[in-house]
Each structure stands twice: as structure tokens, then as C-alpha cells.
Amino acid sequence: MLRNRFVGIAGTLASVVCVTGCSFAPRPVQPALPVQAHYPDMAAGTASGSAADIGWEHFFTDSELKALIAEALASNRDLRAAATRIEQAHALVRIRGADLAPQLAASAGMTRIGLPDNLAALLQDDKLTGYDGLLQASWEIDLFGKLRNLRAAALQQYLASEEARRGLATSLVAQVAAAYLADRDYAERLALARETLANREAYLHLLQRRYDLGSGSKIEVTQGETLRTQAAAQIQTLELARAQNLNALTLLVGSPVDNTRFTHDLAAVGLDQPIPAGLPSDLLVNRPDVAAAEHQLREAEANIGAARAAFLPSIKLTALGGSASGDLDNLFAKGTGAWLFRPSISLPIFTAGKLHANLRGSEARRDEMLANYEKTIQSAFRDVADALAQRQWLAAQIDTTQQAIAALTERARLSRIRYEAGRVAHLEVLDAERDRFSAEQTLIQLRRAWLASGVKLYAALGGAFPEAHAQAQQSRQQGPQQTGLQKQGPTP
């Protein structure tokens, strides 16, 4: 009868708690956007929409580049480490969630006590032995939301780790694309340098013959030799830079890369399509780093709720039942049953300021995360603005350089005609050839930089994995589920 009454009281108390449970976490407030409503005027004319809606498989159309990106997403070690961090955060959410549920444990034990002589004489034994088998249930009632806030903080940490992995994957895609473009840049410049070297060797041979026949001078041969060695030195410099870039690309991909299989030039990469920039407010939902910073802010707010709840009473229900006997053979015999029901309330009275310091620290952490969130938005705005400006001014530089090359080509042709006619010194021909070669090298670099700025803009706008972002949004609403992102191969 008494046992049933305790159970009834516990059930009634639990029902009341479920209805009246509350949380002391501050209400989330969306900070005002700390950037302009539009990107700078220099970026006007970009297409409407958002690049974040375009998956990387559709943005990158070059088959060689797509194969590299897919291999990197499957093999990159940093991405694998990020996947394990998601699993760790998911486990922490499960741990915090388990604290909300009743805990059940079973135990079996033996106790042997040595008695003093006076008691041993009374009991006619110098030892007292007991055996017990017990089942214990305990439940901390989360009346003020401390445990729920701790679980909410762990959930936000989990969601932030998901966004961090998406951001890492987006950055990886951009870095692989940039390294591939650099390799194509070096390949084209090497081809130009080798062609230039062949032409200069032929020209040097002509100058040497003229000198041997007495119609030329030694200084002209020396100048021709200088042009030839400059082209040869440029080839060596480019080969070194290409080898180092290949090493960096291999590290990004996570497996050996054979760049001899690359056959496409920069014009065939297919990154010259318009990139929709959208509005700065789109960055709040599209950029992984901004979303991760927001989750970290929400985590800090939940920790404030837990810190506030620590000042209030903690209610715990403990129930124990089982058998106890002085003889192991009769442990579960009739009449050995025992039970205990113990509700308890604890209230902190003096903690030497620990709880106040914990609350102040949690509030300071929230303020730090708020500043970090706003700074992340500002950094994202700058990334997009810089990439838009690069595309505009690089396109203008390409046009200017093409005009310069046309003029330098004509200058070189006229200089050689004038030299053949004996009207100018050979030094004029030397200068014209050197300037044209330098301008042609610069044009290739500008084209690569313009294509790379498109990749940079695409990543800065949050593009690469719209499906993963949708899954992260779903996880935000439903709690962490086993999304399987780390097992999907190329898609993070």
C-alpha cells in the first residue's frame, strides 16, 4: 500500500513537471545585417538569383576538372576528419538527451565486515557477511530547463559542425579548381615559352651565320643569345612552379595526380558563364561559415539558460528494489525483498561565486559569438565584393592586354623590317621581342585569374552543395539524424 502511494505521488509530480517545465535561455534575436543592402556599384549588372542554387556538378562543366573534384571530395583527409567531428558532436547530443530520461541500473554485491571482539562474542562470529541484488532507477526532473538547454547547446554544436564540413568541402572544391586552372595556365605559358625558344634559336642561328659571313656583328649574336637564354630560363621557372602546383593539387585530392592526362586549355574549361550574385542577405542562409557562426551563437544562448537554471533547485527521484540476505543461497528467497523510494531536492546556497562566474562567462561567450557572427557576415560580404570587382577589372585588363599584344606584335614586325633595312640597331628588335613575350605571358595569367575569380565568387556566394544545405536546414528543425553525409562519396 505504501509502495503504491509513493509511486502515485511520483507519477503526479512527473505530470506536473512535464506541464510546467520552463527554460531560462534568452530568446534568440536575429541581429541586424551589418553590411550594405547591395553590393558595390562596380558589381552592378550581375544576373539575378543565387549561385548557391547551382551544385558544383552543374557549375563546373569541364570533365577533367569534375573528375578531380569528385576524387578530392572522396579522398581528402581534412574532409574525413571533419566527418568524424560531426559524429563526435552527434554523440554528444545523444549523451545530453539521455540525461533527460530516467536511468536504470542493476547491481549485485557482497559485503563482509570484520567485527570487534565485544560484538563478535555477542554474535558468536568475528565476521558479518551480506549479499544483495538490486535494481535502481533514478530521474532528474528538468523543472527549470537546465538539461534541455545543455542538449540544445549540444544540438547547435552538432549543426555548426555540419556547416563547418560543408564550408570545408566548398573551400576544397574552390581550391582544386584554382589549382587545376593554375596547371592549365602553366601548361599554356610553357607551350608559349617553348615556341618562343624555338623561334629565338632559329633567329640566333641566322644572326650567327650573318656574323660568320661578315655582314653582322658580334654584339648582335650576343643579344640573340641573351634572348634565347631568357626564354630557356623562363621555361625552367615555369616547370618548377608547375611541379609545385601539382604537389599542392595532389595534397588537396588526397591521391596521386597525373597532370599529363590534362589536355584542355583555359578556353575549354567552361567557367565564363554569368554567376548570379543575389543580395547580401542571401549570405545568411547560403554561406556555411555564416550558418555555423549562427549555430555557435545559439549554442552560447542555450548555455546561458543552463547557467541560470543552476541557481534553482534540482529535483531527483530515486527508487531502489531487490533482495538482501546474509546467505548467498537464500538471496532471492521469500522474505528477503527490500525497496526504497527517495525523492530529493537540492538548492545551492553558497558556492563561493562559482555559479555567478559561470553565468557571467556564459554571457560573455554569447557576446563573443554575436561579434563573431557579425564579423563573419562582413567577411562574407567582402569576399563577394572582392570577387565581383576582380571579375570586372580583370576583364578590362584582358581587353587592354590583348590590344597591347596586337600593338607589340606589329612593333616587333616593323622593328625587324627596319633592322633588315639597316635603319635601326638590333637592340630595338630585342626590346620588341622581349616586350611581346612578356605581354603574351601576362595575358595567359590574366585569363586564368579571371576564371579563378569566377570560382572564388561562386564559393563566396555559398555555392557547391545546395542539397547538403537543405539537409542541414532539415536537421535544424528535426534534430540530428544519421544523414549519412560522410558516406555519400563526392557529396558532403
| DSSP character at residue 54 | S
| DSSP character at residue 332 | T
Cβ within 8 Å of residue 241, ≥6 positions away? 186
Cβ within 8 Å of residue 454, ≥6 positions away? 271, 272, 275, 387, 391
Q: Tally Cβ neighbours within 10 Å of residue 308.
A: 22
Cβ within 8 Å of residue 252, ≥6 positions away? 72, 76, 172, 175, 176, 179
User: Rounded to the nearest 5°, which phi and psi values hold at 142?
Assistant: -85, 70
Q: What is the largest CA-CA distance in the chain?
A: 135
Distances, alpha carbon 91 to alpha carbons 103, 233, 481, in Å: 18, 57, 11
Distances, alpha carbon 139 to alpha carbons 69, 307, 343, in Å: 50, 20, 10
Rg (CA), the chain: 37
Q: What is the pLDDT along the chain (492 residues), one digit of tens a residue?
A: 434 443 443 444 444 444 445 677 888 877 788 888 778 854 444 446 678 788 888 889 888 999 999 999 999 999 999 999 999 999 999 999 999 999 999 888 888 887 777 776 776 777 777 788 888 999 988 888 889 999 999 999 999 999 999 999 999 999 999 999 999 999 999 998 998 888 888 878 887 887 888 777 888 888 888 888 988 999 999 999 999 999 999 999 999 998 888 888 888 887 777 888 878 888 888 889 999 999 999 999 999 999 999 999 998 999 888 888 777 777 777 877 888 888 899 999 988 999 999 999 999 999 999 999 999 999 999 999 999 888 889 989 999 999 999 999 899 888 888 877 777 776 787 788 888 888 999 999 999 999 999 999 999 988 878 766 666 566 555 555 443 333 333 334
The grid coordinates listed for 163 are 556547416
Please spell the DSSP secondary structure of 110-165, one letter per residue.
EEEEEPPHHHHHHHT-SEEEEEEEEEEEEEEE-TTSHHHHHHHHHHHHHHHHHHHH
Give pairs for 84-92: CB < 8 Å, separation 24+.
Answer: 84/486, 85/161, 85/164, 85/165, 86/158, 86/161, 86/162, 86/165, 86/485, 86/486, 87/486, 88/161, 89/154, 89/157, 89/158, 89/160, 89/161, 89/480, 90/158, 90/480, 90/482, 92/154, 92/157, 92/158
- Amino acid identity for residue 234 in this structure: Q
Do 24 and 144 form a contact (C-beta atoms < 8 A)? yes
The grid coordinates listed for 20 are 510546467
C-alpha span between 344 and 10 (Å, rounded): 11
Helix, strand or coil, per DSSP, at residue 6: helix
Task: Give me the pLDDT at residue 16, please.
Answer: 42
C-alpha span between 483 and 481 (Å, rounded): 6
Q: What is the pTM of this model?
A: 0.81
Q: Is 254 left (phi over 0), alpha (psi -120 to 50) or beta?
A: left
User: Rounded to the nearest 5°, which phi and psi values hold at 105?
Assistant: -145, 150
Task: Give me the pLDDT at residue 477, please.
Answer: 57
Strands of the sheet containing 127-141, edge to edge, are: 103-114, 127-141, 314-325, 337-346
Nearest to residue 392, comparing CAs of 286, 277, 268? 277
Q: What angle do CA 141, 147, 151 make, to 5 degrees?
A: 140
| DSSP character at residue 38 | S
The grid coordinates listed for 139 are 530521474
Cell 557576415, located at residue: 377
- The domains located in the chain, with CATH, are 44-99+146-312+347-487 (1.20.1600.10)
C-alpha span between 417 and 410 (Å, rounded): 11
C-alpha span between 79 and 70 (Å, rounded): 12
Task: Give me the pLDDT at residue 92, please.
Answer: 93
Do 93 and 175 form a contact (C-beta atoms < 8 A)? no
User: Rounded to the nearest 5°, which phi and psi values hold at 95?
Assistant: -65, -45
The helix, strand and coil proportions of the chain, stated in percent and rounded to the nearest 5, come to 65, 10, 25
Question: How far apart are the two ends of the chain, measured CA to CA in Å?
Answer: 59
Q: What number of CA atoms fall less than 13 Å from residue 233's CA on the CB side?
A: 6
- Amino acid identity for residue 29 in this structure: V
